[in-house]
Copies of this chain bind each other. A is one copy, B any other.
Amino acid sequence: MIKTLYEIPELAKRNSTKTLAIAAAEDASVMSAIQQAKKLGLVAPFFIGNSAKILAIAEELNIVIDPSEIIDSNDENESCAIAVKLISQGKAQILMKGLVPTGILLKHVVSKDYGLVSGSLLSHFALMESPYYHKVFGLSDAAMNIAPSLEEKIAIIKNAVDVFRGLGVETPKVAILAAVEKINSKMPATIDAAIIKGMNQRHQIPNCIIDGPLALDNAISKEAAIHKSIDSPVAGDTDILIAPDIESGNAIYKCLPFLGGAKCAAIIVGSKAPIVLTSRADSEETKFLSIALSVLIAK
């Protein structure tokens, strides 16, 4: 597995250029991140939104935009519909959110009119680089599914495993997180973890090695696992952390960059195209790395 997130754009450069549809693109930070990816030949963008504003931002940022890259739309709802339609028609391979509430974009993503999501679950997937861990690792779900059921957790795992296989890791190691490593009937997270592990052992969840329940320390530190007499092929070498719910997933997702010096890339997976759904609070670096990650796994 890669050791730093900046290996992602390097790997993505080997892929063909992907077309990126940006809904409500009139956002300086978004446009600047896209420009960075465009310069490397990773993406060819369709900026959908208010063309006057998009051109004004481009001028301010010293970016040259060809008029053919802009699809004019003054309505955020329409802008999202156009972007999603481009994905649906195969004219773009990556979807990105600009200056529009997440809910509005996702309403179009899940709409049956476009067929972007069929038989799968949308989930949030983050790739983290921590100075305290020996490789880049995944985390899901920190921002999409509030209290996933057992079936939804399995879908979240499959989505995350697919990303890792796109990154070249054939059989990623998956840790199902809980507060403790013992199975406790009063703690649903531990019950689900035991079931999921069992399903993996019966080949019902393929292409990965799953262990759980594991507390975060056991998942990422072999020493901590040994202290607790945990014999696990995953402990200390986890590729993907699966959180029991959005509260715990989000806690880790926020803790790592803000209290752990970590870098991050994040996308929504489970739809026909990866979706870059970074928030205003995300740095331009996160936005750029998220675009690069999308390029790497886009089909």
Contacts and interface: CB of A to CB of B under 8 A. Distances in A.
Interface of A: 130-133, 142-143, 146, 177-180, 186-187, 189, 215-217, 220-221, 224, 227-228, 243-252, 254-262, 280-281
A249 B179 contact: yes
A228 B281 contact: yes
13 contacts: A143-B179, A146-B186, A177-B251, A217-B257, A224-B258, A224-B281, A228-B280, A245-B245, A248-B251, A252-B252, A252-B255, A260-B260, A261-B261
Q: How many copies does the complex hold?
A: 2
Contact of A262 (B142, B245, B259): B259
A128 to B, nearest CB: 9
A186 B215 CA distance: 26
Nearest to A281: B227
A54 B286 CA distance: 54
Residue of A131, A187, A251, A261 with highest tally of chain B CB at under 10 A: A251
Nearest to A258: B217
Contacts of A258: 132, 216-217, 220-221, 224
Contacts of A251: 177, 179, 216, 243, 248, 251-252, 255
Contact of A255 (B180, B186, B247, B256): B256
Given A132-B258, A256-B259, 4 more contacts: A146-B179, A216-B250, A217-B254, A255-B260
